[in-house]
Structure 1
């Protein structure tokens, strides 16, 4: 498949509430997505191309702190050619974290496990990522050639910066750009901290989850553009990756509207840079099947 045909959605979820409840969906405002979602439903929803590319591969990401959920996601990846990688969960604080990871990877579908994630945004400890047990667990993740997805809110960005300082060998990606407070329209602290984090070369960033941080009903491309401009200048396109955060994005417009927004944000970028954001960075980070790149002029 040529570069111009490749589009990776680096962040989506699936769940079957009859098999595994998602307690976070009980929070007010989540009613529209309080139902089952499969990767087949994503195929049906993701019909709009971005820069002429249609969806070809995805990364499915954990939702709850559950090793059985991770096993289910690995099985889904093994049976669905759309899913190219899994971001799973395991207890980073457990002394047995290495054994758990080895067990997950040893299964017939274990090859799809490419990263781990924990919902740090729900932890009250402002130093959770620096707890000795957590750092030991993250070291075990890195030793096995896995990456780490960092899910935090904007006020927790100092934790991610300290993580990058203390574990420079651990490749990690900032989910949802650290959830900038778009609804408050005050990006000053977020901008400063994201730029500091981006100085660490092992860090990538997902251009995802932004529309649900904005006003769900009234957001426009112009509301998202200041965040995009900061990310592009801080990380560069080679360290940014497109993600939909489907089906959560349905709360604020859905997959196709977000795709149209990303295409507009990419206007002025070269073919090489578009490829990086839409496929190349995710392919490299999650060890997906690579696609060729070509040269071009930089983003204007």
Structure 2
């Protein structure tokens, strides 16, 4: 069975998503029911909701909305990685409030949509350090050119558990493996980082990719982090840009064909259940 650590639900009637207007293929509702139908067919047993970069005024509302969805009969959602703004002065008070909510499993601030120096700010870094000891994670969503900033942040907060999204967002369509390979190996040297094998189909050519297209990127990420520090995620519905959930799950199984049963279980469910206490 599979734990999906990277699910996005989109409800435009409840929340505002300014960035969706620039991605027409995703500019609609993607409901829990639509996801659950495909997810159950794929063998997904539970999921964590990943924040969808809503309008800043809707950050708290997104958590409340998704928690409400999780209480519906048959929901696969067991928690949420919620949006945050560590660069803002109110972060410390906000953190004290949300970390008491058992539904919240971690935080994310998408860094490739802001200037590169945002994560270099003194307030941002001090606020990230505040997460230490909370049992909550911080997802790093960065482009390869921002890996230097990501590594610096990890080194400055060694007691915070980080999760690197999407194998570090390699340019699979452009067949670019360098300096991505060196960057992955370097950040994986930090024991407080977990690699997320998620949604890489969105970075491949949707017309021609196969499991073998993805293999160099997935295998290098797993090889760098090791089987005890990798988790799996769909990145639904972003993965629909590259073929969809069922295609990504099928490719994952093909890529893991040579792994042991224990190794597969760690990547697909065991590590996530341990990391987020699911």
Give the TM-score normalised by the residue count of structure 2: 0.93
1:129 aligned residue: 119
Contact 1:115 1:147 in 2 (8 A): yes
Residues 147 and 211 from structure 1, CA distance in 2 versus in 1: closer, same or farther, beyond 3 angstroms? same
- Correspondence 1:143-162 to 2 at 5 A: 143-162=133-152
- Correspondence 1:234-245 to 2 at 5 A: 234-245=224-235
- Correspondence 1:99-248 to 2 at 5 A: 99-106=93-100, 110-125=101-116, 127-248=117-238
Aligned-pair distance for 1:79? Answer: 4.0
Give the TM-score normalised by the residue count of structure 1: 0.86
Q: Give secondary structure in 1 for the equivalent of 2:44.
A: coil
> Is 2:9 the partner of 1:14?
yes
Between 176-185 and 59-68, the greater mean CA deviation after superposition? 59-68
Contact 1:48 1:260 in 2 (8 A): no
> Is 2:56 the partner of 1:72?
no
Aligned-pair distance for 1:105? Answer: 4.0
Aligned mates of 1:48, 1:264 — CA distance in 2: 17
Residue by residue over 1:79-114, the C-alpha shift from the partner in whole angstroms, topping out at 9 and shown as x without a partner, is 4641112000122123332321232344xxx21101
How large is the Cα RMSD of the aligned pairs? 1.6
Runs of 4+ in 1 over 6 A off after TM superposition: none
Q: Give secondary structure in 2 for the equivalent of 1:120.
A: coil
Aligned mates of 1:138, 1:74 — CA distance in 2: 24
Aligned-pair distance for 1:148? Answer: 0.3
Residue by residue over 1:135-163, the C-alpha shift from the partner in whole angstroms, topping out at 9 and shown as x without a partner, is 12112222422110111111111111111
Aligned mates of 1:45, 1:250 — CA distance in 2: 12
Aligned mates of 1:285, 1:157 — CA distance in 2: 23
Aligned mates of 1:16, 1:209 — CA distance in 2: 20
Aligned mates of 1:9, 1:94 — CA distance in 2: 30
Residue ranges of structure 1 left out of the alignment (5+ in a row): 1-5, 289-300
- Correspondence 1:28-43 to 2 at 5 A: 30-43=23-36
Residue ranges of structure 2 left out of the alignment (5+ in a row): none
Residue by residue over 1:200-255, the C-alpha shift from the partner in whole angstroms, topping out at 9 and shown as x without a partner, is 11100111121111112221111100001211210112111111100111111111
Contact 2:87 2:118 in 1 (8 A): no
